[in-house]
């Protein structure tokens, strides 16, 4: 069993030479390309072209890509075939365009139950969307990982995730975001054990007792000793993706300047090294 650590980086930063150079200097090789809203296809292609020399030289690697979330607020679970099929087509187009990044994992948000639909209906149609994406995912040898998401998300509770995952092919799994159980944060080790057979990747960050914060592990309330113990008990190789808000590494608002990202990546690397030692 071995952990592969990665850091999520917003795609707006990925096209800045300073950011890429600091990423390389940090010694963190693996990154999750995080999109936010759907980028125009032409823009996505340009960004991939910018990154291609770094990828081909082995300086950076993208074992995971976070699929765009803007269109997935409700559409993946829509019972309206037109809306849902349009969502599927946009996801397929995105996957095919982003494939040169070489990712083996795709993180996808489930969205919320659309207005007028029951949770059970939303789960049924979300499953259809995931099944419709399977041929494309299998074509590229990827794993499509449904993220455990907070608040009103379809996948907030483990029992809902189990219903979505039941009898899914092996190329569909779970991205367990430890920052998302919100008020159930004390139950994270239990949830990891419960969903263990479906988990392919983890999103790693800390929070307070109320909502996601995307803090560095050790800053908030999460019990990292027991979280890491439970992950180790699964006895498989995992990609642990740090999803940290860079805002904590910016100068005070009164200072009109940008902070060099080397401080962010330095702290990130040290935290990864710490996390790799605990829970044994």
- 3 state SS of 280: coil
pLDDT in tens, 100-148: 999 999 999 998 888 889 999 999 999 999 999 999 999 999 999 999 9
Distances (CA, A) of 40 to 14, 68, 236: 16, 11, 37
**Closest Cα partner for 115 from 73, 176, 57?**
73
Q: How many CB atoms lie within 10 A of CB 255?
A: 9
pLDDT in tens, 266-276: 999 999 999 99
State if pTM tops 0.85. yes
Tokens representing residue 2 in the block = 């071995």
- 3 state SS of 176: strand
Nearest-angstrom CA–CA distance, 103 and 94: 13
Residue 71 has pLDDT above 90, yes or no: no
Distances (CA, A) of 30 to 59, 147, 161, 258: 9, 19, 27, 24
Task: Say whether domain 3-275 belongs to CATH 3.20.20.150.
Answer: yes
Average pLDDT (216-229) is: 97
Q: With helix as H, strand as E and coil as C, how does 46-57 read?
A: HHHHHHHHHHHC
Nearest-angstrom CA–CA distance, 275 and 269: 10
Residue 53 has pLDDT above 70, yes or no: yes
Cβ-proximal residues to 192 (8 Å cutoff; 6+ apart), any chain: 176, 199, 227, 230, 231, 234
How confident is the model at residue 73, as a pLDDT? 59
Domain boundaries, the chain: 3-275
pLDDT in tens, 13-51: 878 889 999 999 999 999 999 987 777 888 889 999 999
Residue 72 has pLDDT above 80, yes or no: no
Residue 255 has pLDDT above 90, yes or no: no
């Amino acid at each position: 069993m071995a952990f592969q650590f990665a850091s999520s980086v917003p795609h707006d930063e990925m096209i800045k030479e300073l950011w890429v150079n600091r990423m390389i200097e940090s010694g963190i090789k693996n990154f999750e390309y995080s999109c936010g809203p759907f980028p125009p296809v032409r823009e996505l292609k340009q960004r991939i072209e910018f990154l291609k020399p770094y990828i081909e030289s082995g300086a950076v690697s993208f074992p995971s890509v976070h699929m765009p979330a803007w269109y997935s607020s409700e559409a993946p679970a829509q019972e309206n075939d037109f809306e849902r099929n349009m969502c599927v087509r946009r996801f397929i187009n995105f996957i095919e365009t982003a494939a040169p990044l070489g990712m083996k994992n795709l993180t996808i948000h489930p969205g919320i139950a659309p207005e007028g639909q029951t949770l059970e209906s939303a789960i049924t149609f979300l499953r259809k969307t995931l099944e419709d994406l399977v041929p494309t995912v299998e074509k590229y040898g990827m794993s499509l990982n449904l993220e455990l998401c907070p608040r009103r998300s379809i996948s907030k509770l483990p029992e809902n995730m189990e219903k979505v995952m039941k009898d899914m092919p092996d190329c569909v799994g779970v991205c367990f975001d430890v920052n998302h159980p919100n008020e159930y944060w004390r139950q994270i080790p239990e949830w990891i054990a419960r969903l263990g057979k479906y988990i392919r990747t983890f999103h790693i960050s800390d929070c307070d007792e109320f909502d996601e914060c995307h803090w560095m592990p050790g800053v908030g309330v999460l019990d990292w000793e027991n979280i890491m113990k439970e992950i180790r008990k699964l006895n498989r190789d995992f990609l642990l993706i740090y999803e940290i808000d860079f805002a904590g590494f910016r100068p005070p608002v009164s200072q009109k300047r940008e902070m060099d990202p080397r401080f962010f990546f330095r702290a990130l690397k040290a935290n990864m090294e710490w996390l790799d030692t605990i829970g044994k």
